Amino acid sequence: MRAEYLIFNVLVALPPLLLWRRPDSGMAGRGGDALRAILWMAIPFIVWDAWAAGRHWTFNPSTVIGLDFFGLPIEEILFFFSVPFACLFLWESVFKKRPERSAPALAWLYRLPWGMAPLGAGLFLAGRQYTGLTLLALSAVCIWDRRSGTELLLQPRFLGFLGAVLALTAVFNGYLTARPVVLYGAAYQLDFRLGTIPIEDFGYGLALVYGVTVGFEGARRRGLLARIVERLFGGYRHRVDAADDTAPFEASEPRRVAVVGAGIAGLTAAATLAERGHAVTLYEANDYLGGKIGAWPVTLPDGSESTVEHGFHAFFRHYYNLDAFLERVGASQHLVPIDEYLIVARDGKRTGFAGISSVPFLNLLSMATHRVYRVRDIALGPAGEEMAAFFRYDPERTFQEFDGVSFEAFAERAQLPATLRLVFSTFARAFFADADRLSMAELIKSFHSYYLSHDHGLLYRYPDGDYEETVLGPIRRHLEKHGVRIELGRAVEALGRADEGFEVAGEPFDGVVLAVPAAASRAILERTPALAEQDPKLAALLPELRCGQRYAMLRLWLDRDLAEALPVFVTTEKIRVLDSVTSYHRVSRQSADWVRVHGGGIFELHCYAVPDDVGSDAEVRDAFLEELHAYFPELADANIAHEVLQVRDDFAAFHVGMGTTRPGVETAIPGLVLAGDWVKLPCPAMLMEAACTSGLLAANALLRRDGLREAAVESVPLRGLLAPRRRAGGDGDVE
């Protein structure tokens, strides 16, 4: 058939062309990067193809339409666009969603080019030109990957992707060679075939797709400044633990460990300890796992059941430890990327971050070019000098200088421009404190963690269904697989002593991980005076263990949807209570099913810090609705089919002056460790990542006591780009 090769290209490219703009594809907003990466890789391959056509291979004239360029059928040129685009779509929509884990042990792969290149040159000179050029192409792309800093071969997920590319090559090239659309000159190759496919075709396809992916991934960090920034940080991923990799992995004599609290911290600690052979019992006061990511069923007026969570959570890409944990338990496959981080101001102005550079320092300049703020407002006022503190983050100096300063006082002193103040304010509210209470040191630390210490930007992922199905279910199954005894609805009021160990809920244990919120931890320890006496320093800090302001969530089942298509999660400029709106029927399949039957939409409204003058739950609910209608008037007349309101006060407080009074993970009481997002950590982790990291560190303290190998703990860089560097050996700063 004359158009057979053309139809082949259309069929390969059509699905990704139809789907690439979808938010869950991972390619939304990056079409330009994809096109440039494909084009720059297509050029050398087309030149190679044109040089080799008629000798290395020829084309069946009965399968092409007869339109030639550079001696090549137009269909052959389209091949260098359709196939790489389809593979790039596969990388972003499937493999890129897996956690980004670096495996240094794979570094030996980068030594292969130094053997492949001479071999390829020798084969080329010996007449096996197709074989030789394929090896040279693979060597060149591999060296480019290493030297550009993308280092994709260090990621196990990328090796899985290359395996998929080989499988697709067997399908695509199997078709093209079996028909045949392409015919090969055996004299220029090894003439070893898998079916009808020359073995060289697999290397040719790998080199093409590998090169396109390197170009696409390097688009964010391409350029001298981007590479300099990453080198100044020493990379964006740093090991926090000093684990002895020669220590035994599993206990020969299991110890009994009680983990009190089944939030992220407790779940991480329980899983880590159970994987190493310890007998773990997990106590949770609620009837569900997860703590602040917990989920439970509710019955709707029509008799159907739905699942309600504590609220929408963003799984940021720099949550290295949480990512690794979710991958370990099999939950990461359910995370999909957000299409945009959008702030809606009271005047209707929209501020988005999808197109802003993700490279630290350059991202702030990029915000200026996107008109988030004007450079002259920073350069000509006190803001520029004051904001340098964000780049000088240091865990000791920053808290000495700024822990006694509120964000509101800092913003006034710096005279932040209105738009930039809005950005900082919406970001700051996520830490459950009003501007006049939030410690500026904590805000500097969090801004360093989320925006100024890695190249992932503010875009994040979220579960593609309710949390019980997508996150908690896999975690529960993992715990049960490793023998964890889960005791739900079992509140632990106090800890007791039993010989050298502890007594929890009437049972003896060798160790305890206390992983409940700050105020609950204080209550348990105050009811156990014998333990407090063993650690006077911890006892002195107990009065400071308290939670932040109340936070609230209102879930609404409405008979109306928004008039415009907005991102799944939208941050609003707070009037009194409304901080954000989540379109849950675009998040959860369960919610989407309800909307398909009843119409309308399901929305979740958040307030991260309920003002003190909004007293009762009814006042919170009325204020939510009033502000929702102010931002989205089309919902003002919507009927409410069902609603669920939660007002809680168990999040950590990051208030002025509290940073220096937080206890760390380890206590002076042998076998007792603390975990939670409120615990002081040796790295700048916050929120869910802080909880997960604390759980790992708590488990490590017990593993280290038992002579077992500790779990890996990773972090973003520990200090800001302009912070004084520590001397080797820790004997001071380099000024």
- Give tens-digit pLDDT for 457-514: 877 888 888 899 999 999 999 999 999 999 999 999 999 988 889 999 999 999 999 9
Output the CA–CA distances (angstroms, integers) from residue 505 to 131, 374, 509, 712, in the order listed.
Answer: 70, 59, 10, 31
Q: Given this model, what pLDDT does residue 217 score?
A: 85
Instruction: List, as one string, the DSSP characters of 104-167.
Output: GGGGGGGGTHHHHHHHHHHHHHTT-HHHHHHHHHHHHHHHHHHHHT--GGG-HHHHHHHHHHHH
Decide: 23 and 568 in contact? Cβ < 8 Å. yes
Q: How far apart are CA 598 and CA 534, in angstroms?
A: 60
Least confident of 417-426, 515-524, 590-599, 707-716: 417-426
List the one residue out of 511, 505, 509 whose CA is nearest residue 493.
505
C-alpha 65/C-alpha 113 separation (Å) is: 39
CA distances from 147 to 140, 171, 222, 456 (A): 10, 32, 11, 20
CA distance 98 to 100: 6
**What's the token pair of residue 405?**
């300063």
**Residue 421: its pLDDT value, please?**
83
User: Which helix (H) or strand (E) covers residue 330, if one does?
Assistant: none
Tokens 């975990």 locate to: 675
Interior angle at CA 357, CA 424 and CA 80, nearest 5: 150
Contacts of 607 (CB under 8 A, 6+ apart): 551, 552, 553, 574, 577, 578, 579, 620, 624
Judged against a pLDDT cut of 90, whether residue 533 lies above it is answered with no
Q: Residue 735, exposed/middle/buried by CB under 10 A (0-12, 13-18, 19+)?
A: exposed
- Work out the pLDDT band at 731, boundaries 50, 70, 90: very low
Residue 10 carries which side chain, given as an amino acid letter? Answer: V
Pairing of strands 672-674, 714-715: unpaired
Q: Omega before 180 cis (within 30°)?
A: yes
By the 8 A CB rule, do 163 and 169 touch? Answer: no
Q: What is the pLDDT of residue 338?
A: 75
pLDDT of 122-161, one tens digit each? 999 999 999 999 999 999 999 988 877 678 888 888 999 9
Please, what is the Cα angle at 295 between 489 and 481, to 5 degrees?
70
Find the DSSP H helices in 455-588.
467, 473-481, 518-526, 529-534, 536-541
Q: Is the pLDDT of residue 735 over 60?
A: no
Tell how far CA 166 is from the center of its chain.
28
**Alpha helix stretches (DSSP H) within 309-417:** 320-329, 362-369, 375-379, 383-391, 397-402, 407-414
Q: 670: which DSSP letter?
A: T
The full set of domain ranges for the chain reads 4-219
Q: Which of 142, 145, 133 is nearest to 113 (CA)?
A: 142
pLDDT in the model for residue 608: 92
Average confidence (pLDDT) over 220-235: 76
Per-residue pLDDT at 728: 44
DSSP character string of 530-550: HHHHH-HHHHHHGGG--B-S-
DSSP 680-719: B-SS---HHHHHHHHHHHHHHHHHHHTTPPPPP-EES-SS
Tens of pLDDT, residue by residue over 590-630, are: 899 999 999 999 999 999 999 999 989 999 999 999 999 99
Q: Which of 697, 700, 702, 733 is nearest to 715 (CA)?
A: 697
pLDDT class for 101, splitting at 50, 70, 90?
low
Question: H or E stretch including 234?
Answer: none
At 278 the pLDDT is: 96
Q: What is the DSSP secondary-structure string of 482-498? A: TTPEEEET------EEE
Q: How confident is the model over 237-266, as pLDDT tens digits? A: 999 987 777 888 888 889 999 999 999 999
Cβ neighbours, 10 Å, residue 338: 21
Of 553, 513, 485, 577, give the one whose Cα is nearest residue 292: 553
Confidence band (pLDDT; 50, 70, 90) for 654? very high
pLDDT of 291-314, one tens digit each?
999 999 999 988 888 989 988 898
For tokens 């069929």, what's the residue?
A: 11
pLDDT at 729 over 50: no
